[in-house]
Structure 1
Amino acid sequence: MTLDIIFQRIKDELGKEVYPLKVIKTINKYLFKELGFKGNKDNYYDPDNSYLNQVIDKKTGIPITLSVIYLEIAKRLDFPMVGIGMPGHFLIRPEFENVGIFVDVFNQGEILFKEDCELKLKEIYQQPITLEEHFLTPVSNQQILGRMLTNLKYIYLNRQEYPKMLRIIELLLQLFPNHPLEIRDRGLLYYQLRQWEKATTDLQLYLSILPTAEDAPTIRQILQQMR
């Protein structure tokens, strides 16, 4: 099953009469009821959840990857939607004025209003959180990819799969050249891998960019240990 095939099936189902709620309901019906896509709540931190090819094959993923698939289908349908990078969650919404609805793809395409988004934050963090306006600001494709890669980066860190983590950091640095925190993390990873010369180069570069960073004393101490 490819995105093009999914798109064609949904397009055929939609017919000529197209309006926002009908498009969303039709995508939801085909993706979640007929194909069985779902959020991977049982194994949320499986790296496969962050690779789109695996998500399409297994029909399960995390909020951001399921949302990317949904966004791509909507794009092919000429139904503009945007990603919303809320703290701890990812939503999408139609890119039309005065359409105040959001779609939670991780939860079977649940339709939310602004008030529901605030309740969603409370549910995620287990405490009342004020919904700031910028929480619902659309994010760029670059930001979406960066968030997906960052998810993978920390998954591999927690699994202590350092060579894979290094590859992800390299991709992040291609996406965000000279990002100081990625340079620092690559340096710390080289240090963990006992590649002293590369670690020294990156950590010195980090300090040259952010000499007064909060962790600067710790980084200087690590550099001292490698001399």
Structure 2
Amino acid sequence: MTGFEETLQRFRAAVTGPADEIPLARAALLIARSEYPDLDTDAGERRLQDMAETLDQQLARNEAREHPRRVVQTITQLFFRELGFRGNTDHYDDPRNLYLNWVLAERRGIPVSLAIVFAEVCQRAGLDVQPIGLPGHVICRYQPAEGDPVYMDVFHGGRLLSEADCQLLVRNLFGARVPFKPHYLGALTPRQTLQRLLHNLKAGHLQRGDEERAARVIDLLLAIFPWDLDEIRDRGMLRERLGEVDSALSDLEQYVQYRAGARDIQTISETVRSLRRHVRGPAEG
């Protein structure tokens, strides 16, 4: 078993089971381990726990827990000013922004990775903070025991957002093509958060022409959603370009079998026929 296969096995075990029991931080650190095979994921979790204990102490010192405004001030002071987490605006497309060990070390990331760290630290300190998956941008929501939720843009220094601000953010990104829907303000599940992170990571590797790493990311995506036929197709096409003929054929045959009405079915079917000729020889068609 290769190092990646071991990590994939551990990741699959982490993301299998009831949705509310999936350990988001551990799974995100295992994604990082797929790139950094010597990564100590336990050390990453300890770092998050240390931050949470610091936050807990500051909340107690500020007598903040019963006062939502003080809670927000305390967590933003710690996370963005004292610890120095910030959005990586200079190198947004760098795949390292998606690896939690790098984000924890460099205190930089993109919205989804910063949201994971922010939410995990707050949750470990006993606060109800969840990642929120707006189209094109992940933010965080703090829900006090009483009162309205507080939305924070962790990529922009914890800037507070109203619901109207969230609507404007989506409109600025997509215009009228994506009308705002109330469910956009619902919390992402751990699986959805990991999927979002992996989609960003896949896109980053493809943008750099790194098909081998992109294919490994799809392996991780399929550990979460095994029957995502679009990902199976994409992995098959990458494997075909990487010369992994048997694996490519297996993926693309699944796609053709279960997606007979897809727009790209003719193109994929032709690729399957070509791969079959390669594997079995011209006489078998």
1:21 corresponds in structure 2 to 69
**Percent of aligned positions that are identical:** 35
Letter of the 2:264 partner, please give it: D
Letter of the 1:66 partner, please give it: L
2:110 corresponds in structure 1 to 62
1:108 corresponds in structure 2 to 157
2:205 corresponds in structure 1 to 156
1:174 Cα offset (Å)? 0.9
Runs of 4+ in structure 1 over 4 Å off: none
Match of 2:99 among 44, 51, 58: 51
Q: How many equivalent residue pairs?
A: 226
Letter of the 2:209 partner, please give it: Q
1:203 corresponds in structure 2 to 252
2:282 corresponds in structure 1 to none
* 8 Å Cα contact 2:143/2:149 also seen in 1: no
Indicate yes or no: 2:164 matched with 1:121.
no
* Residues in 2 aligned to 1:23 and 1:163: alpha-carbon distance in whole angstroms: 44
* Residues in 2 aligned to 1:90 and 1:206: alpha-carbon distance in whole angstroms: 31
Letter of the 2:183 partner, please give it: H
Can you give the 5+ residue segments of structure 1 that lack an aligned partner in the other structure?
none
Q: CA RMSD in A?
A: 1.7
Q: What SS is found at the alignment partner of 1:2?
A: helix
1:166–1:66 distance in 2 versus 1, CA, 3 Å: same
Letter of the 1:131 partner, please give it: F
Which stretch shows the higher mean deviation, 158-167 or 3-12?
3-12
Q: How does 1:57-96 map to 2 (within 5 A)?
A: 57-96=105-144
1:4 Cα offset (Å)? 2.0
1:98–1:14 distance in 2 versus 1, CA, 3 Å: closer
- TM-score, normalisation: structure 2: 0.75
* Residues in 2 aligned to 1:3 and 1:21: alpha-carbon distance in whole angstroms: 23
* Residues in 1 aligned to 2:131 and 2:84: alpha-carbon distance in whole angstroms: 22
- TM-score, normalisation: structure 1: 0.93
* 8 Å Cα contact 2:129/2:141 also seen in 1: yes
1:199 Cα offset (Å)? 1.2
Letter of the 1:138 partner, please give it: A
1:17 Cα offset (Å)? 3.8
* Larger RCO (CA under 8 A, 6+ residues apart): 2
1:68 Cα offset (Å)? 0.6
- 1:32-62 alpha-carbon deviations (Å, 9 max, x no partner): 1112110001100111100111001000000
Can you give the 5+ residue segments of structure 2 that lack an aligned partner in the other structure?
1-45, 278-285
Q: What SS is found at the alignment partner of 1:102?
A: strand
